[in-house]
Amino acid sequence: MNQQMLKSVSVQAATQSIRRRVDIGLGFALLRDRRCALAKKALALLLGVVGMCLIQVLEIPLELLTVIFGSLIGLEDGIEAIVWPVLLACAILPFLESKELVDEIRRERLAM
C-alpha cells in the first residue's frame, strides 16, 4: 500500500515539474496572444527589465553571450538591452498567466 502511494505521489510530482518548466517559446506565444491580459504582458516585460538591470549590477557579461550567440543569427552589438529583457519576459510570462490559458495555448502549439 505504501509503495503504491509513493508511486502515485512521485508521478504527480513529475507531472508538476514537467508542467512548470521554463518554456521560452510558450512565453513568446503568450506575448503574441490576444487572450493574455496586457497588464500581465507589461508586468512580465517590467520584470525582464528589472532582471536585466540586476544582471548588469552583478556584472555578468551578457555582451559576451550576445556576441557569441548573436553572431550566429545576425544580431549586432548593443542589442542585448532589448533581447535579454524580452527573453526574460518570455520565461516569466507562463508563470504569471492563468494555468488554464497556458494549458490551452500549449495544446494549440502541440496541435500544429
One DSSP character per residue, 37-86 reads: -HHHHHHHHHHHHHHHHHHHHTT--HHHHHHHHHHHHTPPTTTHHHHHHH
| Rounded mean pLDDT, 5-18 | 57
Instruction: Look at the chain and count its residues.
Output: 112
**In the chain, what are the domain boundaries?**
22-111
| Rounded mean pLDDT, 45-71 | 78
Task: Report whether pLDDT(34) > 90.
Answer: yes
pLDDT of the residue at 53: 85
106 against 56, higher pLDDT: 106
Highest mean pLDDT among 14-28, 39-53, 65-79: 39-53
**Range of weakest confidence among 8-22, 62-76, 80-94:** 8-22
pLDDT confidence bin for 75, thresholds 50/70/90: low
